[in-house]
Amino acid sequence: MLLEAILAIAIVSVSLTLIAQGLLTNYRTGMRFQEMVRALNAMDNRLGLLYATQGSDDLLEAFPQPLESPYDKFTVSAKTGPINDHLKNVTLTLNWPMGNSQGQLELETIIYYPNETTSSS
């Protein structure tokens, strides 16, 4: 009887440990997914602003710029290069703290300038 009780407790302990590890893994995965969704939203907002202003120079800073709330933990930097008189290649890099590491999302696009010549930043 005592041996059966000890065996049952051991089985329940191992089962609960495995269930707890599975739940913790799912929680961490969910948090990483939410961070990536926020990063994609922040990049989408920045890209929309970049297109709306036709690549305003104050949005194309090479050093990391903090974003406005609710994306205030994200920073964005840009690299630009001319393609021709009316096109500029833009690479945006979004960084954010992610636990003990750093998250990064990079996007490359082309901005059209109908009446201006581009300058490299």
Number of domains in the chain: 1
Residue 117 counted as domain residue: no
Residue 118 counted as domain residue: no
Residue 36 counted as domain residue: yes
pLDDT at 8: 95
What confidence tens digit (pLDDT) does each residue in 52-100 have?
A: 888 887 788 888 889 888 888 999 999 988 888 889 899 999 999 987 8
Say if residues 103 and 97 touch (Cβ distance below 8 Å).
yes
What is the CB neighbour count within 10 angstroms for residue 64? 14
Residue 121 counted as domain residue: no
pLDDT at 118 over 50: no
Residue 119 counted as domain residue: no
pTM of the model: 0.71
Residue 12 counted as domain residue: yes
Distance from the first to the final alpha carbon of the chain: 79
What confidence tens digit (pLDDT) does each residue in 9-51 have?
A: 999 999 999 999 999 999 999 998 998 999 999 999 888 888 8
Residue 61 counted as domain residue: yes
Per the structure, the complete domain to which residue 40 belongs is given by 2-112
